[in-house]
Structure 1
Amino acid sequence: MKSFASMLFSAAMVCAVLFGSGLAMVHIAQADEAQTSIQQAVASQQTGIADMWRAAKSGQAGYTTSNSPFHGALINQYPAERLTYRSDYLAPAIMLSVFGVILIFAAFVAVNGPSRLEKGFSGVEIKRWSKFDVWLHWIGAIPCLLLILTGLTLLGGRYFIQPWVGEAGWAAIVNFSKQTHDVMAIPFIVGWFLMTILWMKNQFLASYDFKWFLVVGGYLNFGPFKGKHPDAGFANAGEKLWFWTFAFAGGAIVVSGIIMLFPNWVEPSRSLSMLAIIIHGASSVLIAAFTVVHIFMATVMSEGGMECMVSGYCDENWAKQHHNVWYDDLKRDNKLEYRA
């Protein structure tokens, strides 16, 4: 009996071990099956996400309750490198176009000196600009300067100003710059349009303009260039170059600025908006550099030049030295208007 009981106990233990092993194998199989299901679900989800992004990148429209013009576009489609153009290239470029050109011209004036009137001031002034032209010049010039300064701040300030003023100070500067930039854009657009249309007739190149460039307008006070006074009409070759730069680069600034300033009117795509930002910044680099040159030439380099855009009159000796063709034409036609 005892032996039979031992055998029965042993059989029971074997059955228990086998049953436990079977249960363990079932649990392991179920766990493997669950893990496989999870992996398949994750893979399916990843495939779905990848398919969604592929569709989005290809421009496939989605569905939304938004009423905006481009609500079907899930993500931006423009190349990612366009974002770096603004930060890595345009921001440093506009800084150089302003401060770099200022330093270059300051060094040039220190070495070369200004262009003096050989015969001094005559004390006789002749009319060069009408009162409307003088008014129009400043309507364009003052907003242009403010736009350059505020645009310089908005484009590159985070790299050159923000580290020095802190977050709160930077936020105030950005807000002021943005509001000023938007407001000054309107008179600039008006000034750009009127100046381009009304002053164009005097800005076409003549044969003597090429000689003007060869002697750098007679502004150099050394070597074979000293004392040279090349022919020039109402506008000399340098002023004509500035005018056409202002006309075309300014036009690019105006068009791209309107796209950014009035998005509800223009309704640009995201790619067009980014392109407008790039064009706006690149054109501003040109305008900023030429503006610095223009200011130096009118105030420092050309003795008696600034008076033209203050009163509209210029000294007669200044006209003979810097714009002799224009002066001779007026004198021949008896159209010289003297200041009383």
Structure 2
Amino acid sequence: MTVRPWRLSAADFAALSRGEGGAGAARALRLARRSRTSLLVRMIAAAPEARPAYRLLVDAERASPGAVTRVLDHPSVGAWATRTALALRRAEPARPEELAFVAAAAAIRAGVPAAVDFPDVPVFALPSLGVADPANLDYDPLPEVALGPHVLQLDVWAGGGVPPGLAVAADVDVARWRPAVAAAWDVLAADHPPMAAELAELVTVLTPMPPSPTGTSSATAADAFGCVFLSLAPDPETLAVTLAHEAQHTKLVALMDLFPLLLPDRREIYYAPWREDPRPLAGLLHGTYAHLGVAAFWRTRPGLAAQTEYARWRAAALDTAETLLASEKLTATGHAFVTGMATVLRRWCAEPVHPEALALATAEAQAHRERWTAR
């Protein structure tokens, strides 16, 4: 399998530091993450149990490189490869023989006939395809949502391997998810084209989470690149800003593969205006970048509620960006990145908004700070 080094241009880095980047920078990050996954798979292939599957994967790549990259880009493959490679390196229990599922999916997509020995598992899932019958590899395809020319899969990770700490719904109500996601996409495509372009490059899978009693839940797991875990939102606009928020996390995950932005963590914790609990430095950086994207979303939307959200999150993100810059725990590259964020946010915080929106945003921020201080 081909593993290629990937570099990010100075122009793309600068654009990403401003919360932007567009399709070009997002594509570079996606390709960099694919290279990482390929390297991990090659490491796993050194285990004797994985060698037959790896040979099949190489054969499939010769027949159809695109088929193999489609499978490698599936978030479950990245999560499995990371988990397995780390376990092998630490001499901990691992299942490198599960590379057979990746190879089989690639062979099916490439049209390469093969006989594969599979390990015993409770649910036989082929990444990017669906749950299969091990006897003949017939599979129930994952449901899809068409977003213009882009297609997202809805995947509840039936084969397991969900990153720790995330709750996933038992199944997908496709009849509800398709129109809801399509409506959110329409908001992004019509009103925020650069955000839509980034989402189309970065996200391939949505994984439904159980409904949240307190509102919409969403998450991005670093090892499951390309997947957004979320519950349905009450309206298209809320789902659209949730997707924009998680796309920011996805960009930063891949960027931090390429560049060290933080010095070694000393376990200090910091106030985050969007959380009820304190955050470590990495969490503060991620939250700042995500809320830079949230502020960008609300900045151009009409109405008092949108202006209130814009005022709230531009100020919150600037506050934490300044905290990061003052922490003396950023690398030189990290300092340049956060400076890019802060420059944008300072300019935005000087923009006028409706006085009532500013008053509401200020009151919300103060109430949150008081709750946090009183914990």
TM-score bin (small chain): under 0.3
Select the structure of larger CA radius of gyration. Answer: 1
More helix by share: 1
**Higher RCO (CA < 8 A, seq sep 6+):** 1
Q: Given the two structures, how large is their TM-score scaled by the length of structure 2?
A: 0.21
More strand by share: 2
Q: Given the two structures, how large is their TM-score scaled by the length of structure 1?
A: 0.23
